[in-house]
Structure 1
């Protein structure tokens, strides 16, 4: 069967199977048609009224209404062309007409990006933070000690593009292996200006990242890095970390406050105010992409490599980050703030 219309006999079978409790997918498999054809068939009677003449075209006013509906909610954005034609059934137009109308207005079906959810309260916090820091100089940003964790694995961490012809999608040379339980490692790192800090492998016997484990293994490194900057440059770094529970726990903040008092004063180490759900404002997130690209070039496939081999490759990738790489990231901070302001505190491209 071509298109979305089934023969009368198949339509009768669809309605019969559905009436006895079969799912859409089970019916489609049984009758060798698509799930969308089953769904469409069940929206009307077994013998639909015959259409008079050619399917109608959408007027500009209706296209305006269609665009307003699609762009007005997540539900509208996610509906297929067939679902839209069924929703606006009184227009008596096909899914192809819906597709052509939206295509002329510049719309295409694309994969949705995954971003952190931003509430109204967090939107305001992000916007206020960007407005407060947008005029910082490169020198000021260079005084920040940037920190973060990431999960590292072998293989490519970006989408894999291949050059192929239609029908070659299942050719072995066009496939990426899917590993059910890919071996990976949590890695913590930091940098200050053009200086790369220590990277820490989160050892398996340390357990989950909690306030207790974070203060046992990470905050001593933070203190050491800040002390090194103080001794070498005679200035106090601005300590940055995100709002992960292990970072903001009272025990963690108390531990940081006890550290470095001999050169930082009574307050000890105090993290800078950081807006929630804002990885796009942290340049170290882009640093992870650089590092993982390097890992992917050495271990291009999702191989089940040993932890020792993965540790070695990750360490080499981290230590290959250059001073130029780090200053390049720092120079993006003004644009990151500008983009958050332009987005009124919502998501950005970063």
Structure 2
């Protein structure tokens, strides 16, 4: 950022404000996120009173402020929608100009983090659960199998500034029961188990079929003769009386679990890793999607799973520190 022209409106404002306060240029450069030479050129240009070269801007400061209000009020609108609303207010500007102004405000477009909605009672239960597990060792966490479904949903991008990734207005709240379930998978510190692709709604009988044909073989593969402790969320199919009876009859112990807490299940982060590895793939149909998922899932080494399991004590500390609210450690998969 050596040139003054590279400075955003926000950076110029920071430089002008700190310069008036008599702050040194090295300090100003650090706060504005630019080079010292850029600060020097901007300050010297203002002192010399030299007019800025180039074509006159086609939008006024008042019109620019109106666009900033639109972005703040509608952070999940795409660029075309922002441009339409801005021009409908009487502003004559191209789509390119709209994009340029939004970037000058310091905004960039990102897929928002998705965090679960938690009421006070759920936060308290998460906090209590975390305190009960505070002294658990990595070894205790290792003798467990984690399982979850991953859902295929469309996620719209949203506008935010640097450092705003976790503020409430830049987050999306996930729904607990999306319309279509695609994949079920399980993992432990010893590695991943087989995948199950589903097209039907997950009822208690369907879930018990998954347990029969996937959980038990996975337990034999990953744990051999060791006792299995199973970790699952509190979906209705999981907590149904018939499912509880099935688990009890087959000697599968289930870890007690606070509601709406995917950030405490390491497999959620594993799904995030799978998605990142598949980011550059372009499957043409459902069969290719399944083949890509299977290939990527099979390529995950046991060391990666063990690393996720060893993070559990740190996650427990994060929940306690956050007083039961969602932590920053969860990678939600869409």
TM bucket normalised to smaller: 0.5 to 0.7
Inter-partner Cα distance in structure 1 for 2:313 and 2:290: 34
Inter-partner Cα distance in structure 2 for 1:250 and 1:211: 9
Structure 1 gap ranges (5+)? 6-24, 35-102, 162-183, 260-267
Give the C-alpha shift of residue 257 in structure 1: 2.1
Q: 1:195 to 1:27 in 2, by over 3 A?
A: closer
Report the secondary structure of 1:136's partner residue: coil
Partner of 1:276: 259
Q: 1:26 to 1:275 in 2, by over 3 A?
A: closer
Partner of 1:320: 299
Give the C-alpha shift of residue 322 in structure 1: 0.4
Q: 1:158 to 1:193 in 2, by over 3 A?
A: farther
For the aligned residue pairs, the C-alpha RMSD in angstroms reads: 3.5
Inter-partner Cα distance in structure 1 for 2:222 and 2:271: 23
Matches within 5 A, 1:60-75: none
Give the C-alpha shift of residue 223 in structure 1: 2.3
Give the C-alpha shift of residue 30 in structure 1: 6.1
Partner of 2:10: none
Matches within 5 A, 1:85-96: none
Report the secondary structure of 1:313's partner residue: helix
Q: Does 1:201 align with 2:197?
A: yes
| Larger Rg belongs to | 1
Q: Does 1:308 align with 2:287?
A: yes
Q: 1:251 to 1:340 in 2, by over 3 A?
A: same
In structure 2, which of residues 255, 258, 270 is the aligned counterpart of residue 287 of structure 1?
270
Inter-partner Cα distance in structure 2 for 1:220 and 1:190: 12
Q: Deviations over 1:100-134 (max 9, x none)?
A: xxx9xxx9999874311111111111111111112
Inter-partner Cα distance in structure 1 for 2:158 and 2:202: 31
* Count of matched residue pairs: 219
Q: Deviations over 1:156-195 (max 9, x none)?
A: x89799xxxxxxxxxxxxxxxxxxxxxx971111112222
Structure 2 gap ranges (5+)? 1-58, 64-82, 93-104, 160-179, 330-334
Give the C-alpha shift of residue 228 in structure 1: 4.2
CA contact (8 A) 1:253 1:270 kept: no
Q: Does 1:335 align with 2:314?
A: yes
Report the secondary structure of 1:117's partner residue: coil
TM-score in terms of structure 1 length: 0.55
CA contact (8 A) 1:256 1:269 kept: yes
Matches within 5 A, 1:1-350: 2-4=60-62, 32-33=90-91, 113-152=113-152, 186-202=182-198, 204=199, 207-229=200-222, 232=224, 234-259=225-250, 268-299=251-282, 305-350=284-329
CA contact (8 A) 2:145 2:230 kept: yes
Report the secondary structure of 1:287's partner residue: helix
Inter-partner Cα distance in structure 2 for 1:219 and 1:249: 16
Inter-partner Cα distance in structure 2 for 1:147 and 1:27: 44
Report the secondary structure of 1:255's partner residue: helix
CA contact (8 A) 1:152 1:292 kept: no
Greater alpha carbon shift after TM alignment, 337-346 vs 187-196: 187-196
